[in-house]
Amino acid sequence: MPEDASVLLDKISGFEFEELIADILARLQHGTVEKVLYTQDGGRDILVRSPDGLIVVECKHHPKGSIGRPVVQKLHSAVITSKATKGMLVTTGHFTQAALEYARTLAKSGTVIEMIDHPILIDMASRAKITLVSGRQGLSVWTYSIPSYSETDRAIAAYVASVSSSHPQHPSKLLNNRHRTISYRPIYVVTYDVHCVFETSVGVVHKEIASKARIVLDANDGRQYNDDMIRFLESEPQTRFSQPHEDFVGNLPTFQIDATTLQRLTKETIRRVHTRAVTYYGRNNQRYTKICTPGERDIYISDIRQFYMPLIRLDFRLGAVPYHIEGTQAPSGRLLSISDNLRQCQLCNKRINEDAILCDVCGRITHSGGFLIRNIHGFRCKKCGRTTCRNDGYWRRRYLFFKELVCPICFEESKKAGIAFRRFDPLFQSAR
């Protein structure tokens, strides 16, 4: 579970509540925490091996219920049987007066049963940096801080350099007229663990194990985001959202999925992500396929975080040519592009799937290379290596299959030397 995690207390199952208590006790350094198998609990859900001895923990997830004396008696028996130093009874509800009086009686006789109800549990979780959300209480909303304009400019230039070649100038030298607007997209970032073992008559055929894995869901329709977004989210520091950035435009969106639906969608998505079709051979040497899907008790959701993902629209020019990038940017300055027009040739208006050339003269991004003169959109000057687009370049044929392509600067120098070059024919209309 990440630091400053949030858990929807009313919506978790009894199994998830046990996992939560185990995590809280581990974070508070009570000792080495061990879960007890469901079929062998005997009134004990968790064992804590502390320096002072063994602690037996019983968990009761009853948000609106009361815990009576029989539960305390059962825990007392488990403490005696386990030869533990004390017991701990944790509930999301409250204790009856009879239960509390019985615990006090046991304490006088030397058996300590620590009684932890909802208010005490909230305090323990807070000290463990876990927010327990219950009732009508809402989750905290997190976001990224927006980088400075200088960081944004560096990110734009780095992204342009990653999709096109430019020489001798770096794209940052051509960048101008940058304008940034920001909107926010509501998402849920879910952290979870999966641990399940699948067996058949031949033994274990598959283990599905994930620790602190994450999925990202749209807060309006529950749609799952791709792994690029998850990787982007994981590596950057997050802050609590207080107010929109000064570049914000539009209306602040709302989180439209209720807690019950969110819990259901989250588990359905986790099951789908971790479902595997496993092939194995039976004892009869026949080949079988088993669909392995995690069950309810195999999934532990340790954190559900409401998050305002800042969406950045960047309009800018490279030289005289306008471009745009839509994506998100993290505090470090890293830019994740969701859509842009930097892979669109500015001469033929078609997508560039391979190498791209950024014209060092005018700022057009075009296709690179081409065997025939009529197919050349962008090239490197044969004399100085300057990246140049067709509209700014010149050419001459030296031999039957050899052509010499030059930039405007080298053309002027060649002209003074009496070497004749021709302008390219305007076979392609500029996309701008």
Confidence band for 8, pLDDT divided at 50, 70 and 90: confident
pLDDT in tens, 156-197: 999 999 999 999 999 999 999 999 999 999 999 999 999 999
Q: List the one residue out of 76, 79, 82, 18 whose CA is nearest residue 46.
A: 18
What is the percent of the chain with per-residue pLDDT over 90, rounded to a whole number?
A: 62
**pTM for this one?**
0.71
pLDDT in tens, 369-399: 777 777 889 999 999 999 999 999 999 887 6
Least confident of 45-59, 279-293, 319-333, 397-411: 397-411
Question: DSSP per residue over 94-158, as a string?
Answer: EE-HHHHHHHHHHHHTT-EEEEE-HHHHHHHHHHTTEEEE-TTPPPPEEEPPPPPHHHHHHHHHH
CB atoms near residue 297 (< 10 Å): 15
Output b/e per residue, 275-289; b: 16+ Cβ within 10 A. Answer: eeeeebeeeeeeeee
Domains and CATH numbers, the chain: 5-137 (3.40.1350.10), 139-339 (no CATH), 356-423 (3.30.40.10)
Least confident of 61-65, 85-89, 419-423: 61-65
Confidence band for 432, pLDDT divided at 50, 70 and 90: very low
Confidence band for 44, pLDDT divided at 50, 70 and 90: low
What value does the mean pLDDT take over residues 291-311? 91
The answer on pLDDT for 281 being more than 70 is: yes
**Which pLDDT score is estimated for 288?**
94
What value does the mean pLDDT take over residues 246-270? 88
Q: Which residue has the tokens 């065997």?
A: 371
